[in-house]
Structure 1
Amino acid sequence: MRNYGDFLFTSESVSEGHPDKVADRISDTVLDAYLEADPEARVACETLVTTNRVVLAGEVRGPAAVEKTLIDRAREAIKDIGYDQEGFSWKKADIVSHLHAQSADIAVGVDSAGEKDEGAGDQGIMFGFATRETPELMPAPLFYAQTLLERIRDYRKQGDPRGAGLLPDAKSQVTLRYVNGKPVGVNSIVVSTQHEANMSQDTIREMVKQTARDVLPEGWMCPDHEFYVNPTGNFVIGGPDGDAGVTGRKIIVDTYGGAAPHGGGAFSGKDPTKVDRSAAYAARYLAKNVVAADLADRCTIQLSYAIGVSRPLSVYVDLDGTGKDVDEARLGALLNEIMDLSPRGIRQHLRLNRPIYSKTAAYGHFGRIPDPALDNFTWENTDLAAKLKSALNR
């Protein structure tokens, strides 16, 4: 997304009850189960959800006893999301696991041995991004699209009248108006939310409108004729009963809402030796620290890896013309110096070998506020900012 001129920009989000997000949540629940038992476990879990059926597939390496708990853990995840409906119920769903041992060929390339350090779990490119558009240093359209659905979830689960009768599946889309490259208001909002059969669309519209007002800055609400709720009418049949869901299909929702490039790799269900996940977290961490250090107003970072190779093949920095007397090539080299960007180095620096992933499965992996009790979302910390500024001033 450009940082100049007047324009409209749109991002979408989906709730924790969206079928693809149900799949992501179960995959990350499986990952957490293995990491809880063994911090060095290897997991690549894919989940399919459909009408009262859940299928787990993929590769794992970890304590055998964990697999016996996975079906119960998947049920608990579905229960927490809120599904106990005729077509998809945490009690009645048929859940099967087809997880099997990790390929020995992959293990040879990834594991450390002798003088060889741990290598990347796959080849690929990963991007990180940060912008001053919000205090969380996230693109504003995605931030408000995510926050709107989070608030609807909170009202629903807390028994607040603003969420009464709403069900877990929902999508949002927020279009912001930019003037001179800065967001100044909402042009339109689209929300589709699952609901109980006896609710009127007028009631749902007023509930969602109040929630939008609760979330948006003063004076940012869109005109009434640009506020769309359940545009197709009733949305009673939803979740995996309405559409099948698969792990890893919401990668733009998971990252920056289209405001920044994406390398193509999904996150959920993958242990942190997989650079699709861990290096994307590292790139966000570095980009956020660059902006937090006031070196630029926007920062995009690309990292690239080869399977079995421990060091990144490239580190690229783009400040989108907002850099403050900073040479991008020098900054890229410096970032590679002050943080070990090998898979092992990233995991150790961000403390990724822990069961912290279930909470990442919905409402985005970035821009989240770390929970001190869980020590999660460590890639959102800005503890490198002072070190960066000092190093550049040497």
Structure 2
Amino acid sequence: MARNDYIFTSESVSEGHPDKVCDRISDAILDALLAEDPLARVACETFATTNRVVIGGEVGLTDQAKLAEYMGRIPDIARDCIRDIGYEQDKFHWNTCEITNLLHEQSAHIAQGVTGERGDEGAGDQGIMFGYATNETDALMPAPILFSHAILRRLAEVRKSGEEPLLRPDAKTQLSVRYENGKPVGVTQIVLSTQHADDSQSSDDIRAIVEPYIRDVLPDGWIDASTEWWVNPTGTFVIGGPDGDAGLTGRKIIVDTYGGAAPHGGGAFSGKDPTKVDRSAAYAARYLAKNVVAAGLAERCTIQLSYAIGVAKPLSIYCDTFGTGEVEPAAIEKAIPKVMDLTPRGIRTHLDLNRPIYARTAAYGHFGRDPEADGGFSWERTDLAEALARET
């Protein structure tokens, strides 16, 4: 029997978190390569520590002779990311940190799996991917992760605008949300740790800065006298970013998705071109789950897809509506391949993924965002709802 009354917690991290710095650099490099070659195959990883960024991975281009030319631009791309995030610390500064670029040509054996011997386009790897949606918020996302992201985005806005000049880029937040009858109604615990300007600032000083913005972001009535606040609970947090803790691409996959409210297949997203189903099929699964809920077929929906390297069609399609469905999950499973081609090429074509739209996904979640005019977050559209309803 499903629980209706409970507390669920999710966390988010800011764009200045060391791992997110790395995600941003990896995705910015991906965007730059896709802008030059929409069929580029990219697997880019970034590592960051004190005064140093190391970039590695594989690149396959339609004209591989251009690889050396493009590689010369990589250090400037990394510096631009670091500068936009806001790092000008003595031991991690966009203009002075050492950038090492170790990207190289893609393995021919990996490339042959994607190209496929039969002329079709196979998946870039084996794996399982999950998508999830719930009607508990307008964005059809779980409330704890959605509002954790929203808090940090707001704090980044006021930091970058100069409205709050004492805030710095590195931050984490965590919300414990209280549910009644399966719906979010309040926050029992608010945790925020944010880097700040100098060690004379106390936890109370930082709370005074951030509390008005947190209250603005959260729904009315969610904070009350019983809500507990934990702002910079360890005290001083001046040394932040990669100088305080090393960062690595792909270490925040639960932050990137549903905050633990739904399964995750295990594959990270950032730095991977859309032939890699770790990314594109996870986007497709979210798209399908969101459209199931938008169509009124269920209040909650999980979609799982599975793939084998070099094989075009998904090996399996699974749907779970947690007893909230208006139709049987099996009917949704049968409808899905009728309304969307789930081969890697089909996903890329349907969602128009071969374009430079990925750096913007690197922080504050890949899901629950508004579709954008240039095709960004195309997997957040609900244009498939009518077709799914018709086929079920």
Q: TM-score with structure 1 length normalisation?
A: 0.96
Partner of 1:107: 111
Deviations 1:282-339 (A, max 9, x none): 0000000000000000000000000000000000000011001x12112112101210
Q: 1:225 to 1:126 in 2, by over 3 A?
A: closer
Determine the C-alpha separation between the residues in 1 that align with 2:223 and 2:352.
40
Deviations 1:56-84 (A, max 9, x none): 01111123121111100110010000001
Contact kept? 2:116, 2:311, Cα under 8 Å: no
Contact kept? 1:59, 1:102, Cα under 8 Å: yes
Determine the C-alpha separation between the residues in 1 that align with 2:335 and 2:372.
29
Partner of 2:384: 384
Determine the C-alpha separation between the residues in 1 that align with 2:91 and 2:142.
36
Q: What is the DSSP-based 3-state SS (H/G/I as helix, E as strand, rest coil) of the residue aligned with 1:189?
A: strand
Partner of 1:58: 57
Does 2:149 align with 1:174? no
Q: Residues 345-364 of structure 1: matches in 2 within 5 Å? A: 345-364=346-365
Contact kept? 2:202, 2:235, Cα under 8 Å: no
Does 2:40 align with 1:37? no
Determine the C-alpha separation between the residues in 2 that align with 1:3 and 1:67.
52
Partner of 1:139: 142
Cα drift, residue 222 of structure 1: 4.7
Determine the C-alpha separation between the residues in 1 that align with 2:360 and 2:306.
26
Q: Residues 114-153 of structure 1: matches in 2 within 5 Å? A: 115-153=118-156
User: Which shifted more, 17-26 or 58-67?
Assistant: 58-67
Cα drift, residue 154 of structure 1: 0.6
Determine the C-alpha separation between the residues in 2 that align with 1:327 and 1:233.
52
Determine the C-alpha separation between the residues in 2 that align with 1:3 and 1:158.
44
Partner of 2:329: 328
Partner of 2:285: 283
Contact kept? 1:55, 1:95, Cα under 8 Å: yes
Cα drift, residue 164 of structure 1: 2.6
Q: What is the DSSP-based 3-state SS (H/G/I as helix, E as strand, rest coil) of the residue aligned with 1:279?
A: helix
Q: What is the DSSP-based 3-state SS (H/G/I as helix, E as strand, rest coil) of the residue aligned with 2:188?
A: strand
Q: Residues 1-394 of structure 1: matches in 2 within 5 Å? A: 4-62=3-61, 63-64=66-67, 65-112=69-116, 115-160=118-163, 163-197=164-198, 198-223=200-225, 226-324=228-326, 326-372=327-373, 374-392=374-392
| Unaligned stretches of 5+ residues in structure 1 | none
What CA RMSD, in Å, does the superposition of the two structures yield over aligned residues?
A: 1.2
Q: What is the DSSP-based 3-state SS (H/G/I as helix, E as strand, rest coil) of the residue aligned with 1:368?
A: coil
Determine the C-alpha separation between the residues in 1 that align with 2:300 and 2:16.
32
Q: What is the DSSP-based 3-state SS (H/G/I as helix, E as strand, rest coil) of the residue aligned with 2:121?
A: coil
Deviations 1:339-389 (A, max 9, x none): 0000000000000000000000000000011222x2210000000011111
Contact kept? 1:17, 1:170, Cα under 8 Å: yes
| Percentage of pairs with the same residue | 63
Contact kept? 1:189, 1:222, Cα under 8 Å: no
Q: 1:222 to 1:193 in 2, by over 3 A?
A: farther
Determine the C-alpha separation between the residues in 1 that align with 2:371 and 2:325.
27
Cα drift, residue 249 of structure 1: 0.2
Q: TM-score with structure 2 length normalisation?
A: 0.96
Determine the C-alpha separation between the residues in 2 that align with 1:320 and 1:225.
30
Contact kept? 1:165, 1:199, Cα under 8 Å: no
Determine the C-alpha separation between the residues in 1 that align with 2:4 and 2:332.
27
Determine the C-alpha separation between the residues in 1 that align with 2:232 and 2:204.
10
Q: What is the DSSP-based 3-state SS (H/G/I as helix, E as strand, rest coil) of the residue aligned with 1:387?
A: helix
Q: Which amino acid aligns with 1:85?
A: Q
Deviations 1:6-63 (A, max 9, x none): 1110000000000000000000011011100000000000100000100001111123
Determine the C-alpha separation between the residues in 2 that align with 1:84 and 1:175.
33
